[in-house]
Amino acid sequence: MADIDEPNRESRARRAYTNEDGTIRAEVAAQRAAARDAEVRARGIDVGYVESLLERVNEDGYVILPHLIPPETIDAIRREAGPFLQHDGRTEFEGYKTRRIYSVIEKTFACNPIVDHPLVMALLDRILQPNYLLSQLQVIEVMPGEIRQPLHHDDGFYPFPRPRKPIGAALIWALDDFTADNGATLVYPGSHRWGDVPAAGIDVAKMVPAVMPAGSAVFFLGTVWHGAGANRTDRPRLAATTQYCEPWARQQENYSLAISRERARQCSEKIQALLGYSMLFPFIGFVDGRDPIRLLRDRPRAGAALAPAPSPARKKGTPT
User: What are the pLDDT digits (tens) for 167-213?
Assistant: 999 999 999 999 999 999 999 999 999 999 999 999 999 999 999 99
**How do residues 22-73 score in pLDDT, each as one tens digit?**
677 788 778 777 877 777 787 789 999 999 999 999 999 999 999 999 999 9
**How do residues 139-179 score in pLDDT, each as one tens digit?**
999 999 999 999 999 999 999 999 999 999 999 999 999 99
Whole-prediction pTM: 0.85
Please answer whether residues 271 and 109 qualify as being in contact, where contact means their C-beta atoms are separated by less than 8 angstroms. no
Question: Within 13 Å of residue 191, how many CA atoms lie on the same side as its CB?
Answer: 29
- pLDDT for residue 4: 46
Decide if pLDDT at 312 tops 80: no
Instruction: Report percent pLDDT > 90 for the chain.
Output: 77
Q: Work out the mean pLDDT of the chain and round it to a whole number.
A: 90
Split at pLDDT 50, 70, 90, the class of 301 is low
Decide if pLDDT at 306 tops 80: no
Helix, strand, or coil (residue 85): coil
- pLDDT for residue 127: 97
- pLDDT for residue 1: 46
Low-confidence winner among 71-75, 216-220, 280-284 (lowest mean pLDDT): 280-284
- Give mean pLDDT, residues 270-299: 91
Reply yes or no: is the peptide bond before residue 282 cis, omega within 30 of 0.
yes
Q: Which fold has domain 46-315?
A: Jelly Rolls (2.60.120)
- Domain ranges (residues) in the chain: 1-42, 46-315
Q: Measure the CA–CA gap between 24 and 167, rounded to whole angstroms.
A: 18
Q: How many residues does the chain have?
A: 320
